[in-house]
Amino acid sequence: MSQDTHAVEREQLKILVKQTTFAVLATNVVAAGTIAMIYAFTHENRALVWFGVLVATTLLRLAYARRVEAEVDITPSPERLMRGFGLVALVTGLTWGYLSFMYMDLEQPKVFSATILAIGGIVSGAGGSLGAYLPAYRAFAVACIAPITIRFGIRGDVVGLGIGAMSIAYLGALLAFVGNAHRTIIEAIRLRFANDELVQTLTVETERAKEATRAKSEFIAAASHDLRQPVYALTLFSGSLDQRAKQDRDLAHIASRIGASIHALKQLLDGILDISRLDAGSIYPEARPYPINNLLRDIAAEFAGAASKLEVRVYPSSLWVNTDPDMLGRIMRNLVSNAVAHAKTGRVVVGCRRGDPVRLCVWDQGMGIPPEHLDLIFNEFTQLHNSERDRTKGLGLGLAIVRRLAALLEHEVKVVSVLGRGSCFTVTMPRAEPAPLPLDADSPYARSLVPGARVLVIDDEALVRDALDELLSGWDCDVRLAGSGKEAAAIAEDFEVELILADYRLRDHETGYDAVRAVQKVRGEKTPAIIITGDTGAERIREAEATGLPLLHKPLTSDELRRVMIDFLGEA
């Protein structure tokens, strides 16, 4: 017999055991009431003897159920235990059947009525307690009803034959009804097992998928970190080269080509970083009322003349929305960039549809997206019309970032596309009432870097240290270089540090935060510091952000680094 059959039989036994206590209690209550009525009319002691025998059979059933409960999960033969239930049911049924021989006398109508009602009710109610094992119910029901059929059938008169026929019909109806219930029970048990097996399979597959995702993220994070170190150094050297190339046309041309290549590589690494930060949950939306026209005006300026044969048309709007302006800006720039990359000719239209919620739309006249690919386009590195991996058509990360940012903002992103005619991406967001705009403050970036700013660089990569030294010295900064927290603390003894630039991951498990703390112990806890990291792993990002220090991500451009330093040195 198969393991599946044994499993089903064990569940049947558990149902039988579960029903036993209530069934025994109900049987004894019905029997006690019946015997009380019979004894009141007959005053015969044999009625009390019969009741004692019945109580004994029910206690036998209860004891057997306790034994089965202890063995059900370990027995190699659950069918044998079920046959035991059938035998106990047969004995109990014969006990009830014998009552009909004792007291079903038509000359005593009250006793007859009490007896036949009790037996009929017991046989009917037993379907619930014995229905899980059909042979047990059949044995019980036949043992209860057959004596009635025999007793009245042998009378030979019309009344006897009528009662006998009715008892057979009643028995047949009950057997059919309980048989259907039994099949339903077995079906439910098998269905539950199938569901359990499906859940186990899904759990295993889900864990495999999670493991694959973790492995992919770890690989990308590790590769991204290793790439960011030399790219960061290259970016800084490029900034220095650009400064020196202003007087040399050939050198300026080479510098611009190097800068373009670095910019393309930085785009890829920044895209990977964005995905990692979103997966790490380290980006938090700050929604507020925002005039959508501010974003539309910026997009119009940024994408004017984006392609020679393409018109980017942006329609102004007076609507306000409730959103995080920076996140919404990234969403819309990614969508417009995607449209520009794939449309090439014709028109890209950006505008708002009034209503609540507000729908911000980007239409393009590109080649369109096949219906079966509409969900795939939001996956990382998915590009439908770029099998040659043309970098000018993007990297395949923009829409993946759009989906994650929209989920954080609880904005809905939809796409409708017609092959050969183009696509429309819609971002839906709640409308907001206009709010007073804050007064524009003077831009801190208008201030120039303070000549002679004392900067301590902490990085275990000699290439990065040299690049920063070259760049910062070109800005007339007084620079000191250290490869660890210990070196940095020693330098700080004789160097009045105004700003610390520290890599997050140093050698020997030391972090940039550890190095910063070592310097601050020498120069004071208020010494400004910036952590710079090339890690894109979710866990690393959370660790770095937990330090509470400002966090920048490699590769930084020289302009980005300059703006941040101006802010810090201006506040110091």
Q: How many C-beta neighbours within 10 Å does residue 287 have?
A: 18
What band does 544 get if pLDDT is binned at 50, 70 and 90?
low
Greater confidence, 449 or 20? 20
Q: Nearest-CA neighbor of 552 among 501, 515, 506? A: 501
What band does 256 get if pLDDT is binned at 50, 70 and 90?
low
**What is the C-alpha separation between 398 and 334, in angstroms, rounded?**
5
Least confident of 297-311, 321-335, 346-360: 297-311
Which secondary structure element, helix H or strand E, spans residue 413, and what is its range? Answer: strand 412-418
pLDDT number for residue 489: 93
Residue 162, pLDDT above cutoff 50: yes
**Cα maximum dimension of the chain:** 132
The pLDDT tens digits of the residues spanning 205-226 come to 888 887 776 666 665 555 555 5
The pLDDT tens digits of the residues spanning 285-300 come to 888 898 888 888 888 8
Mean predicted confidence (pLDDT) in 542-564: 77
pLDDT number for residue 564: 82
Percent of the chain predicted with pLDDT > 90: 22
Mean predicted confidence (pLDDT) in 166-188: 91
Mean predicted confidence (pLDDT) in 108-114: 85
Three-class secondary structure assignment of 445-460: HHCCCCCCCEEEEECC
CATH superfamily of domain region 223-282+442-572? Response regulator (3.40.50.2300)
CA angle 339, 312, 389 (to 5 degrees): 30
Mean predicted confidence (pLDDT) in 168-194: 90
**What is the C-alpha separation between 480 and 465, in angstroms, rounded?**
9
pLDDT number for residue 380: 56
Mean predicted confidence (pLDDT) in 421-448: 66
- Write the CB contacts of 291 (distance below 8 Å, at least 6 apart in sequence): 318, 319, 320, 434, 437
What band does 230 get if pLDDT is binned at 50, 70 and 90?
low
DSSP per residue, 88-148? HHHHHHHHHHHHHHHH--TTSHHHHHHHHHHHHHHHHHHHHHHTTSHHHHHHHHHHHHHHH
Mean predicted confidence (pLDDT) in 323-348: 84
Residue 182, pLDDT above cutoff 60: yes
Q: Which two tokens stand for residue 208?
A: 């495999």
Spell out the domain ranges in the chain: 3-154, 223-282+442-572, 288-429
Residue 235, pLDDT above cutoff 50: yes
**What is the C-alpha separation between 528 and 500, in angstroms, rounded?**
6
Q: Which two tokens stand for residue 332?
A: 């819309």
Alpha carbon distances (Å) from 404 to 276, 285, 337: 11, 12, 17
Helix axes 78-103, 109-130, angle to 10 degrees: 170
Mean predicted confidence (pLDDT) in 533-542: 69
Greater confidence, 450 or 253? 253
Least confident of 429-443, 452-466, 496-510: 429-443
- List phi, psi (to 5°) of 363: -100, 145
Would you say domain 288-429 falls under CATH 3.30.565.10? Answer: yes
The pLDDT tens digits of the residues spanning 48-95 come to 999 999 999 999 999 999 998 888 888 888 888 889 989 999 999 999
Phi/psi-derived region of residue 208, left when phi > 0, alpha when psi is between -120 and 50, beta in every other case: alpha
CA angle 387, 390, 391 (to 5 degrees): 135
Q: Nearest-CA neighbor of 160 among 215, 106, 240? A: 106
Does 223-282+442-572 match 288-429 in CATH topology? no
Burial, 14: exposed, middle or buried (Cβ in 10 Å; 0-12, 13-18, 19+)?
middle
Whether the CB-CB separation of 366 and 422 falls below 8 Å is answered with yes
- pTM of the shown model: 0.44
Amino acid at 34: T
Residue 495, pLDDT above cutoff 80: yes
* Per-residue buried b or exposed e for 226-264, using 16+ beta carbons within 10 Å of the residue's own CB: ebbbbbbbbbbbbbbbbeebeeeeeeeeebeebbeebee
Strand bridging mode 499-503 / 529-533: parallel
Mean pLDDT of the chain: 80
**What is the C-alpha separation between 312 and 301, in angstroms, rounded?**
10
